[in-house]
A = this chain, B = another copy of it.
Amino acid sequence: MTQQGERVFISGNEATAEGGIAGGCRHFFGYPITPQNKIPEYMSAELPKLGGVYLQAESEVAAINMVYGAAAAGARVMTTSSSPGIALMQEGLSYMLGSELPCVLVNMVRGGPGLGNIGPAQSDYWLATRGAGHGDGRCITLTPYSVQELHDFTAGAFDIADRYRNPVMVLADAILANMMEPCALIPRRELPPPERNYAVGPHDPQERERNIVNSLWVEFDAMEAVNERIAERYRRAAEEITDWGEFGAEEPEVLLCAYGISARICESAVMQAEELGIPTRLIRPKTVFPFPAEPIRSWSERATAVVVVEMSMGQFIEDVRLAVEGRCPVDLLARTGGNMPSVGDVVEKIREVALTAGAAGV
């Protein structure tokens, strides 16, 4: 992604925080919540040293609105939270979208619904990809699957947010947040501030007109134009930044689809299935919005069955099914509430669908 620096053994939370700094973030507004507390802790120690600002908001509602203000003032700004906190940010996110402001959010998803627990989960998939509150906007959503990717994706998220003037969500989970792995750090850069001709603040009136950041469009046509502008950006993003990884057999019988920590488990399952003689390929989105429908569609034409593995009751699977469009059966392996699928579970599921597909004579 960028020039690599020091290689350290580090937790996902710390890698995320340091990724933010590497990406040029100097303003952080957040409210503590497990399992991502190490991020604000890290930021509160580091940002002041860099002349930046760490501010603990009184709530997630306040946090996202501070982010809104900071983004309006032209900052590379970030907030991080976990499920209930992200739910509270929905209105504010919608305002960011309506006002076409960039920011980076991290959601270290935990078991839900409600207070739930602090175990890992992937059940905020819709909240990320279909959320951003009311209205049509969506968060561009990145799904790292390692500490390294948490770092890299968070750092890269700022450029994406700027490019499309849209909130970018890094969607991970309680395990990725807490696990430790080696990570090559991107050097902290003072970025040249990108062109922000929309930002408010002290200015020379000779140089520009006054700026207004606003999401109120009384005229229906004006509002519709905003929606179309946003949709057009999403089309561009789909072409420019859709990203995914593939792993496994070149002539797969079974196609596995998973993202984030589930994809890690699936990689092990791919290897074990191979040993059992069931050629299996994993497609794992690194972006889920925009969604890599194309590779899933084309591989699903060559496979006899698709297995989706996710730590939710069936959210991600809808995007997979929208890509597969009936080309072959799509099966679900779901664990929730903090539980993770085991490698054995996945292998068992692969064996099961391979058998069924075989029996069906496909």
Whether A224 contacts B335 by the Cβ 8 Å rule is: yes
Identical copies of this chain, number = 2
Which of A130, A132, A135 has the largest count of B CB atoms less than 10 A from its CB? A135
Per-position contact with B for A199-242: 1 when CB-CB < 8 Å, else 0? 00000000000000011111111111111100100000000000
Chain B residues, CB < 8 A from A218:
117
The answer, yes or no, to whether A35 is at the interface (CB within 8 Å) is: no
The answer, yes or no, to whether A11 is at the interface (CB within 8 Å) is: no
Assembled-state Cα–Cα distance A84/B131 (Å): 12
Chain B residues, CB < 8 A from A5:
none
Chain B residues, CB < 8 A from A216:
114-117
Q: What's the minimum C-beta distance from A57 to chain B, rounded to whole angstroms? A: 15
The answer, yes or no, to whether A252 is at the interface (CB within 8 Å) is: no
When C-beta atoms are compared, the residue in chain B nearest to A338 turns out to be B220
Assembled-state Cα–Cα distance A227/B113 (Å): 8
Per-position contact with B for A82-100: 1 when CB-CB < 8 Å, else 0? 0110111011001111110
The answer, yes or no, to whether A119 is at the interface (CB within 8 Å) is: yes
Whether B336 contacts A136 by the Cβ 8 Å rule is: yes
When C-beta atoms are compared, the residue in chain B nearest to A130 turns out to be B126
Chain B residues, CB < 8 A from A132:
113
When C-beta atoms are compared, the residue in chain B nearest to A92 turns out to be B87
Whether A114 contacts B97 by the Cβ 8 Å rule is: yes
The answer, yes or no, to whether A179 is at the interface (CB within 8 Å) is: no
Number of interface residues of A (CB under 8 A): 66
Whether A95 contacts B111 by the Cβ 8 Å rule is: no
Chain B residues, CB < 8 A from A10:
none
Assembled-state Cα–Cα distance A111/B134 (Å): 9
Q: What's the minimum C-beta distance from A222 to chain B, rounded to whole angstroms? A: 7
Whether B91 contacts A87 by the Cβ 8 Å rule is: yes
Whether A97 contacts B117 by the Cβ 8 Å rule is: no
Whether A134 contacts B98 by the Cβ 8 Å rule is: no
Which of A47-55, A318-326, A352-360 lies on the face that meets chain B?
A318-326
Q: What's the minimum C-beta distance from A97 to chain B, rounded to whole angstroms? A: 4
Q: What's the minimum C-beta distance from A291 to chain B, rounded to whole angstroms? A: 11
Assembled-state Cα–Cα distance A97/B338 (Å): 17
Q: What's the minimum C-beta distance from A117 to chain B, rounded to whole angstroms? A: 5
Whether A136 contacts B117 by the Cβ 8 Å rule is: no
Q: State the A residues within 8 Å of B (CB).
A: 61, 83-84, 86-88, 90-91, 94-99, 109, 111-117, 119, 121, 123-124, 126-127, 130-137, 214-228, 231, 312-313, 315, 318, 321-322, 325-327, 335-339
- 27 A-B pairs with C-beta separation under 8 A: A83-B94, A83-B133, A84-B134, A87-B91, A88-B88, A88-B90, A88-B91, A94-B112, A114-B216, A116-B215, A116-B217, A117-B216, A117-B220, A119-B223, A124-B135, A127-B131, A127-B134, A130-B130, A130-B315, A136-B336, A220-B337, A223-B336, A224-B335, A224-B339, A228-B336, A321-B325, A322-B322
Query: Given contacts A96-B114, A112-B135, A222-B337, could you give 10 more A-B pairs where the C-beta distance is less than 8 Å?
Result: A84-B91, A87-B90, A88-B90, A111-B135, A112-B137, A119-B220, A127-B131, A223-B339, A227-B337, A231-B313
